[in-house]
Amino acid sequence: MTTETEIEKLSKDCEAAIAVVVNNNVAIDEAEADALENLRNLPKEVSSDTILPELSKYGFTDTRVMGPIMRRLAKAGAIEVTGRYRKSRRSGSHRMPKAIYNNQQGKGNN
């Protein structure tokens, strides 16, 4: 049988989880807005490393957040997939291959 204190704890845990999701969505929105601004000053070919080199500014501790950000940028037409890859230059990524995108807003498009 579940006691009232267990129910209260589950309720608090659920509220905390919802707060994390809301805060992360706000941070992703901010990172996306900055990425769109950064694209204006970047060359024709970019990767997630060059679009947002410093993620800790938004409270993120690893690069997994770049997936949703890159999908949003592609959906908005700001970047376009090339099908090519290069080794990551981001510290801690162990030179993992990163997709190269055509920057649709950058210096190379003027």
Give the Cα separation of 43 and 101 in Å (integer): 10
The total number of structural domains in the chain stands at 1
Contact 99, 85 (CB under 8 A): yes
Q: Distance between CA 63 and CA 34 in Å, rounded? A: 16
Which residues span the domain enclosing 101? 4-109
- Give the CA diameter of the chain: 67
Q: How many CB atoms lie within 10 A of CB 36?
A: 16
Query: Full-prediction pTM beyond 0.85?
Result: no
The CATH number of whichever domain residue 15 belongs to comes to: 1.10.10.10
Contacts of 86 (CB under 8 A, 6+ apart): 47, 97, 98, 100
Task: Please report, in tens digits, the pLDDT of each residue of the chain (110 residues total).
Answer: 566 687 777 777 676 666 555 556 788 888 899 999 999 999 999 998 888 888 888 888 778 888 889 999 999 999 999 999 999 887 777 888 989 999 998 776 65
In this structure, how many other beta carbons lie within 10 angstroms of the beta carbon of residue 28?
Answer: 17
CA atoms within 13 A on the CB side of 92: 7
Chain mean position to CA 56: 11
